[in-house]
Structure 1
């Protein structure tokens, strides 16, 4: 053991070797030494000799001094260190990597396999310790490294035998050898992009909230819609970024939920936000975007996407998901060119939204959910793939859906024994055709208020009969009373069917599904035919008068569809021959 004085590394080239530099009079190149800075702190280095270092001095690079807590001129105790090669050869070493200087960052991908090969070549037969810091030069770029973890090499490999397959021991100090494995791990918040196999699977949060329970999400009657949305919009986001990148897959960036009011569009968007392990969704009412000042409406759109843009530049593929929910989307995204305003604010808002969702600088960390009950008003460019790619109609629930919705809204009453045994949810679902989810919720509330009203004393003051209130139950009669008197469906369903084969519907037992059957006969008189021609606007007044003269008092027999075909054929003729051609075709068809 000898006492030496810490010095600054003489050249930049030597500082990249990760070696402590000494005089050739003190030690030999390739030796390993223990440097004792305090009684309780020891550090192992590999040494290299250089003629510029004075005898009795040991030179360290800045990262080495930083790691060991050394200052220039500090006296340290130096002694030889011998590795036990049966236990201290490095099998695998995990290294945290980042650009050495933040101003020299770039977005180019770096091949971790080539990096690992270069690292082993540069630092072969050198000592490494956990938490050690060093500088690494690769592709004319300097990287700051820190050793995070070291595993000892399998003893079987050292003997030239196949690997034993046993879990290897963790060690604090190891010797780099030719067949060591080096794994690079990107530093937190680093903009470095690593590709290849010699990198760790970066820790990332699962996109689905771990506490989420699909069975308790409270979306009744929308199971199919929700599963379709999950398949189209979230399946790709569940996979690690590496696999998605290898497939060349692009995430869905937009979902449009449309349908009549009260059918669960807002509920669906709210539950999607809860399901995803992402930031709190930004919920925006369409009209809030608009501003009376020039350019402010467009600026409001840009502000919504600013956080996502900044994070994607910083973290790339590992950026978290940003959810933006637009309620009443049709208020700001009407077809361009249809607005009456001279300023064209609506048009520029649409343009700004188009460029942000899928413009020149593509964002892959956003999900925009739009809701509207007027999809026909929305600009076509927003509806193409790459923007609002997934379009999902949230319609009126069917009977199975109504059972689910009523079950959800009566669950709490059932759990506290406040729902009478005579209440049949399936019966109520059958009686509530054309009811939306909101109207079914209103029905439950109306039944609850009817039941509660029974326990209020009808005196000069409003009092609750507490003795009877403890036995409060919502009964079947409460639901049926609310169904008949309080809550009516907001819309009726009208189905009109046409057929020329009524007998076929009769055989299929479908005719009973239609409450009214109206027979539409053929045109049977010349007057009816002329009236039809006038309604269709097919001939001029003079031509129709000529046709009426020819058909006066005569019987005809022709259907509207056949008449349209004959008119179309007649109109192909020269105007002077149209009437004669039409009458000729009528005769030929036996009409």
Structure 2
């Protein structure tokens, strides 16, 4: 092709080479021009009929760069960039006045220049050393030279690995590129703003993304899932996405227990996508006491994105809006009491902005909640908050990563003792959330600091503490045992109340414990069903609760919770159901979980006089005992009952995988075992009691028998014969022993 002049001044300001559609179709966006000295240079193409076929139009500075004259023949080929490897993350431009004799002291704001540059030259291709003409507002025209370009390593970013910025010889600008302006050497140009120097930030295509640096641990898989689903389509030019007929993802919902890193991940996503400053708002901040103001607050959040979408269309940059505690404003419509309807109208306004009649394609809404069940379903369909990622409790590897991050600074400064094994701590902290692991590190640090504080009339600090201070393994173990307990961990105190007397081994209990522990082992096995319900039934004082608590405690499950009727005194039926359901929902967040429900009849409010029961609670029991936990979760439910026939009549008995009967003590030898193991009597007294009750019938629960033995503990100064007689009389008075006629 032959070299021609640029047809007009306006076209020369586009910095494109002008071609005729007869030579290159409109699908061709870039061309490679080989200069006389064999240098390949890439330019952006603009089609215009003012240029004759067979000619290519250059402006003056372009002709100077490639050293060509008018009508000179050059080689021009269509060029297709690699969208994965040649997208610009950071573009550094050197600026000066175009007319050196005509300068001004007027400041040029680089932040505004960067936005204007992206608007004027969307999706343009650039090569190193390329000269450009830049008309910024009504100010004097600038001469620009491409000094440096960097691209992100998408593979490294997806895997969470750190990589050095990759230099580019040629790259394509995108709406999220970071533009940096530098003053040319010897120039009188006066630059202001943040974009006049390199900023230590990450963007969508940043190459130095690093989980360790960002303080995110244990969330690698979730981050890669978000990257793949939410940002894959934004990497490619708009025309590529149009050919596939798809739209960008507009919303992400992060949900999970408190303290697992939802807010942290959302903020780091906001930093990673730093093309536009993310707007972070707490859900309750949207609500306003004045009519219509809550809806107006929602509209204001999207106003800037709407204005840019109208002005720049598909080349608009990405606008991120982060909602913390989004459940506060997006409850199920119609669920909030009162006749104001404010909650419903806020939800409607948010729905219309994300995916209404006038759709925005340049927004990403990130919502966070630990109550996904309360949110309106319309908000979670595709096109709205369609990517729903559970930020659950970290596994052992995740806990190791988090602890490594949280102790990194003290390890760097030599304040972490060599006896601290992070892998050991990760294994010991089952069901700890990220926030609780951070609390553990703080507590261990406080324990270490306390050693160098001397308490007396005055509080004094050891002057050599800076040199001697080290956080040891003992500090972490002490904090684990005394200071920090996981909210979704085991209810040790509640379980200990049931087995405060210990488990007394007698005839039938050995078989019961063996069978019970076999079912616990079955519940852990990956080859079995993910739900196992075990019922221990027996008459009052038979010891069913103690045995059930023993099985729950020795299951070694990281999540063990106790549900009793005593903690729900005064609850309404619906409140009781919500309490029980929440316990099951919490259990589903752990890989292995155990729920101990003591005395099912009392939980359902059963009364033998009538009889009557709470039907809503019964329905909840049907649902919760029959439903399986989510995939990858294992649940063991251990229940106790004093009235098997009641559960059978109510239809609850078939819900259980197995039913274990806890009997009363009937044999004299079994009584002997309990008396000997309790150590409340001497051997001679035990022999005397057993000799006495041989001439009759014994029918007693182990709990009842242990309670009667407490009487003997306070009769230490009484004669042996009197103690034995008193105990036998107690057995007879309580009706658990009947002498032969």
TM bucket (normalised to shorter chain) is: 0.5 to 0.7
Aligned partners of 2:610, 2:216: CA distance in 1, in Å?
Answer: 51
> Partner of 1:154 in structure 2?
none
Matching of residues 96-135 of structure 1 within 5 Å: 111=26, 119=48, 123=52, 130-131=59-60
Say whether 1:402 aligns with 2:405: no
C-alpha displacement at 1:245, in angstroms? 2.2
Say whether 1:316 aligns with 2:313: yes
> Partner of 1:170 in structure 2?
66
Say whether 1:189 aligns with 2:85: no
Question: Cα–Cα, structure 1 residues 385 and 353, in superposed 2: closer, same or farther, change >3 Å?
Answer: same
C-alpha displacement at 1:117, in angstroms? 11
> Partner of 2:344 in structure 1?
347
Matching of residues 354-503 of structure 1 within 5 Å: 354-492=351-489
Matching of residues 567-578 of structure 1 within 5 Å: none
Residue 130 of structure 1 contacts residue 173 of structure 1 at CA under 8 Å; is this kept in 2? no
- Cα deviations across residues 313-344 of structure 1 (Å, max 9, x unaligned)? 22222211111000111111111112223221
Question: Cα–Cα, structure 1 residues 280 and 480, in superposed 2: closer, same or farther, change >3 Å?
Answer: same
- Cα deviations across residues 449-489 of structure 1 (Å, max 9, x unaligned)? 11111112334333321224311100111111111221122
Question: Cα–Cα, structure 1 residues 373 and 299, in superposed 2: closer, same or farther, change >3 Å?
Answer: same
Residue 279 of structure 2 contacts residue 320 of structure 2 at CA under 8 Å; is this kept in 1? yes
C-alpha displacement at 1:244, in angstroms? 1.9
Residue 326 of structure 1 contacts residue 368 of structure 1 at CA under 8 Å; is this kept in 2? yes
Residue 16 of structure 2 contacts residue 46 of structure 2 at CA under 8 Å; is this kept in 1? no
Aligned partners of 1:562, 1:477: CA distance in 2, in Å?
Answer: 48
TM-score under structure 1 normalisation? Answer: 0.58
Aligned partners of 1:451, 1:457: CA distance in 2, in Å?
Answer: 13
Aligned partners of 1:369, 1:418: CA distance in 2, in Å?
Answer: 38
Q: For 1:510, what is the secondary structure of its paired residue?
A: helix
Aligned partners of 1:347, 1:127: CA distance in 2, in Å?
Answer: 59
C-alpha displacement at 1:149, in angstroms? 3.4
Q: For 2:383, what is the secondary structure of its paired residue?
A: coil
> Partner of 1:149 in structure 2?
62
- Cα deviations across residues 357-408 of structure 1 (Å, max 9, x unaligned)? 0111111111101111111111111011110101111122222221111111
C-alpha displacement at 1:174, in angstroms? 2.4
Question: Cα–Cα, structure 1 residues 472 and 560, in superposed 2: closer, same or farther, change >3 Å?
Answer: same
Say whether 1:510 aligns with 2:522: yes
Deviates more, 1:247-256 or 1:484-493: 484-493
C-alpha displacement at 1:507, in angstroms? 9.5
Aligned partners of 1:476, 1:250: CA distance in 2, in Å?
Answer: 52
Q: Give the counterpart of 1:331 among 328, 332, 354.
A: 328
> Partner of 2:569 in structure 1?
none
C-alpha displacement at 1:125, in angstroms? 8.2
Aligned partners of 1:507, 1:378: CA distance in 2, in Å?
Answer: 37
Residue 451 of structure 1 contacts residue 475 of structure 1 at CA under 8 Å; is this kept in 2? yes
Residue 150 of structure 1 contacts residue 172 of structure 1 at CA under 8 Å; is this kept in 2? yes
Aligned partners of 2:647, 2:520: CA distance in 1, in Å?
Answer: 30
Aligned partners of 1:248, 1:123: CA distance in 2, in Å?
Answer: 35
Question: Cα–Cα, structure 1 residues 176 and 444, in superposed 2: closer, same or farther, change >3 Å?
Answer: same
Q: For 2:365, what is the secondary structure of its paired residue?
A: strand
Deviates more, 1:383-392 or 1:221-230: 221-230
> Partner of 1:498 in structure 2?
none
> Partner of 1:289 in structure 2?
286
Aligned-pair Cα RMSD in Å = 4.8
> Partner of 1:56 in structure 2?
none
Residue 253 of structure 2 contacts residue 366 of structure 2 at CA under 8 Å; is this kept in 1? yes
Residue 647 of structure 2 contacts residue 653 of structure 2 at CA under 8 Å; is this kept in 1? no
C-alpha displacement at 1:560, in angstroms? 7.2
> Partner of 2:602 in structure 1?
none
Aligned partners of 2:317, 2:647: CA distance in 1, in Å?
Answer: 71
Aligned partners of 2:518, 2:265: CA distance in 1, in Å?
Answer: 41
Question: Cα–Cα, structure 1 residues 379 and 458, in superposed 2: closer, same or farther, change >3 Å?
Answer: same
Residue 18 of structure 2 contacts residue 51 of structure 2 at CA under 8 Å; is this kept in 1? no
Residue 351 of structure 2 contacts residue 384 of structure 2 at CA under 8 Å; is this kept in 1? yes
Aligned partners of 1:178, 1:208: CA distance in 2, in Å?
Answer: 35
Aligned partners of 2:406, 2:293: CA distance in 1, in Å?
Answer: 42
Q: For 1:174, what is the secondary structure of its paired residue?
A: coil
Residue 123 of structure 2 contacts residue 237 of structure 2 at CA under 8 Å; is this kept in 1? no
Aligned partners of 2:55, 2:5: CA distance in 1, in Å?
Answer: 8
Q: Which structure: larger Rg?
A: 1
C-alpha displacement at 1:300, in angstroms? 0.8
C-alpha displacement at 1:120, in angstroms? 5.9
Residue 327 of structure 2 contacts residue 375 of structure 2 at CA under 8 Å; is this kept in 1? yes
C-alpha displacement at 1:215, in angstroms? 4.7
> Partner of 1:53 in structure 2?
none
TM-score under structure 2 normalisation? Answer: 0.47
Question: Cα–Cα, structure 1 residues 564 and 361, in superposed 2: closer, same or farther, change >3 Å?
Answer: same
Question: Cα–Cα, structure 1 residues 556 and 282, in superposed 2: closer, same or farther, change >3 Å?
Answer: closer
Residue 221 of structure 1 contacts residue 404 of structure 1 at CA under 8 Å; is this kept in 2? yes
Residue 130 of structure 1 contacts residue 172 of structure 1 at CA under 8 Å; is this kept in 2? no
Question: Cα–Cα, structure 1 residues 45 and 535, in superposed 2: closer, same or farther, change >3 Å?
Answer: closer
In the alignment, structure 2 segments of 5+ residues that lack a partner are: 20-24, 30-44, 80-115, 125-169, 178-202, 492-513, 526-530, 539-605, 616-644, 656-741
Question: Cα–Cα, structure 1 residues 515 and 419, in superposed 2: closer, same or farther, change >3 Å?
Answer: farther
- Cα deviations across residues 141-199 of structure 1 (Å, max 9, x unaligned)? xxxxxxx7359xxxxxxxxxxxxxxxxx813542288997799xx996259999xxxxx
Question: Cα–Cα, structure 1 residues 430 and 375, in superposed 2: closer, same or farther, change >3 Å?
Answer: same
Say whether 1:203 aligns with 2:173: yes
